[in-house]
Structure 1
Amino acid sequence: MSTAATPQGAPIEVRDLTKTFGSFTAVDRLSFTVEPGRITGFLGPNGAGKTTTLRMLLGLVHATSGTATIDGRDYRDLDHPQSMVGSALEATNFHPGRSGRDHLRVLAAAGGLPMSRVDELLELTGIPAAARKRAGEYSMGMRQRLGLAAALLGDPRVLILDEPSNGLDPEGIRWLRGFLRHLSSQGKTILVSSHLLQEVEQTVDDVVIIANGRLVRSGPMAQLRGAPSTIVRTSDADQLAGALRVADVTSTPGRDGELVAETTDMRLVGDVALRAGLPIWELRPRRADLEALYFELTEGTNRNLGAGATPVEADAVSGQEGANE
């Protein structure tokens, strides 16, 4: 894909967005921003309202209140939506009897796009050999690649993807990670919904975490992780904590008798323990990972695990939000 004429991305802004289905609130006064040139992970438990939010952003579902805009405009008001927004919300949005190439040709013709983009995107997404094969015979991973190719036909400034890693093998996931990073380096705005926390952690710049349709945390990954520290275990954690205080190192008790020292200098921690005559049973760097943060923030707030929606309400929402939500 040529980068010379690729325009910069456009901001996504969600403000006090709310969607109710009867008495059930799927999205509740949700606000966040997705910046151009960055990959933002959109995370939350099943039923948290992720897909409903994406559908409102794309004008597929009417919001009860609030706004969801792209470059300051509702999706319905965009002059050339294909050149502004590319999206892939599910990997089944194609005619099963039509080849992958023909599927893209139909979309290109409908959008007034050059047919040269079809073969360019087939090559770029790694499915040229399967282009003549019926899309209904594609594996899940191939369907994901075809959906991504369709989303990129108009060389959009904004890319919105719902669970794009589903069905991809490890090699495919690694390819997707590099591909999204390449697109963000062009200045594109990328919003990715996913439940693969370890993969998201390696891919995204920013994170938006929701539960029960509400925002629980958002910000850059580096900021959410917090300051790096050191985990140490010894025979007397209290004595070591006192010795560290003398060395101007703050520490706090951790799990299972461990001590969390607020420093990355493991040599200093080891030297302090040696001078205090304490054995070191464990010494390792600690940095909060996304998975630990995610479960810490959403634990006890997932309505699917507690007394949330009634079965009737939950069914109504699941019918609107789709199988990936």
Structure 2
Amino acid sequence: MADRGTAIEVRNLSKRFGGFTAVDDVSFDVRPGRVTGFLGPNGAGKTTTLRMLLGLVEPSAGQATIGGTRYRDLPSPLTTVGAALEATSFHPGRSGRDHLRVMASTAGIPDSRVDELLELVGIPAAARKRAGGYSMGMRQRLGLAGALIGDPEVLLLDEPNNGLDPEGIRWMRGFLRHLASEGRTVLVSSHMLGEVQQTADDVVIIANGRLVRSGTLEEVQGGAKSFVRTSDADALAGALRIADVTAQPADGGLVVETDDLRLIGDVALRAGLPVWELTSRSGDLESLFFALTDGTSRNYSTQDAPVEQDALIGQEGANE
């Protein structure tokens, strides 16, 4: 599949619920052919941002577009954007297959697509069981199948790994990477930082409703690095400098500004220095996340919370 080229653009996006600012002047891009992790503490504004992207919540300021168009103005929303924001957005008495058939029929999509998706997400055996009896992991897979029903160019997923066992998490990681490789734009909200580090190409981090960092995973983490120990760290640092590679002393060795272990080994060999330890040392997303967001989790007051919830329900009703 060719690169579909449908990017998400968020520009100066804000949302206020009464006196509470849930999202405050946020701007970022989500590029096609890549998985973007959307991170932030509880109450940071992630879900509100996703809802504004989908037209479920009206922004107080700014705009969020998909391929340059607001969601409500898309000529064919289901084939452009697929979303799974909740793992309970289905009738509990309806089978998983019937749930998808209803979705498909509203968009003129044949039932064959339903069976294809049930197989794709790994729940064909449960297709005829009532969705109300599904485990959380099965609900997540059903929600993902629903998001893919129109073969969309863009996917918005809110905490898709919740309830999945380790095997399911590994499957989800590979599946998201596969979807991005097809040229789709994939935006994933998650609190599983280790998993984001293994899955995402880019990350967007917000706290207290404001953007605190965005970029490629490598940029955000500070770039690829390596660690090396030898008998004479100063001599090796000098040899690396001649090879146009920066190295700094740390932990009894050197932190080198490259992930090319072969280059470091070759430089050490030419300098006649033994290598006692040589490992990749990628940035730690978890440490960075907590450094950027420590102490920013927001507890909604009893006055603010009903305002936000009522606003969400009202917007959802208006868009049904």
TM over 0.5: yes
Match of 2:98 among 91, 95, 102: 102
* d(CA) in 2 for partners of 1:104, 1:73: 27
Q: Secondary structure at the match of 2:119?
A: helix
Contact 1:38 1:190 in 2 (8 A): yes
- Confirm or deny that 1:183 pairs with 2:183: no
- Confirm or deny that 1:217 pairs with 2:213: yes
Match of 1:47 among 34, 43, 65: 43
Name the residue aligned to 2:285: 290
Match of 2:13 among 13, 17, 23: 17
CA offsets per residue over residues 46-84 of structure 1, 9 Å max, x none?
111000000000000110000000111111111111011
CA offsets per residue over residues 187-220 of structure 1, 9 Å max, x none?
1111110011111111111111111111111111
Superposition pairs of residues 75-154 of structure 1, within 5 angstroms = 75-154=71-150
Q: What RMSD over aligned residues (CA atoms) do the two structures have, in Å?
A: 3.0
* d(CA) in 1 for partners of 2:253, 2:21: 42
Q: Secondary structure at the match of 2:118?
A: helix
- Tell me the TM-score normalised to structure 2 length: 0.84
Structure 2, unaligned stretches of length 5 or more?
A: 314-320
Contact 1:44 1:211 in 2 (8 A): yes
- Tell me the TM-score normalised to structure 1 length: 0.83
Matched pairs, number: 305
Q: Secondary structure at the match of 1:291?
A: helix
Match of 2:4 among 4, 8, 12: 8
* d(CA) in 1 for partners of 2:136, 2:310: 22
Contact 1:34 1:191 in 2 (8 A): yes
* d(CA) in 1 for partners of 2:23, 2:304: 13
* d(CA) in 2 for partners of 1:166, 1:151: 16
Label 1:227 to 1:220 Cα distance change in 2 as closer, same or farther (>3 A): closer
Contact 1:266 1:284 in 2 (8 A): no
* d(CA) in 1 for partners of 2:297, 2:120: 40
Structure 1, unaligned stretches of length 5 or more?
A: none
- Confirm or deny that 1:31 pairs with 2:19: no
Label 1:12 to 1:262 Cα distance change in 2 as closer, same or farther (>3 A): closer
Q: Secondary structure at the match of 1:86?
A: strand
- What's the CA shift for 1:127? 0.7
One-letter code aligned to 1:221:
L
Contact 2:155 2:187 in 1 (8 A): yes
CA offsets per residue over residues 13-38 of structure 1, 9 Å max, x none?
00000001112111010000111111
Percentage identity across aligned positions?
Answer: 64
Name the residue aligned to 2:317: none
Contact 1:18 1:66 in 2 (8 A): yes
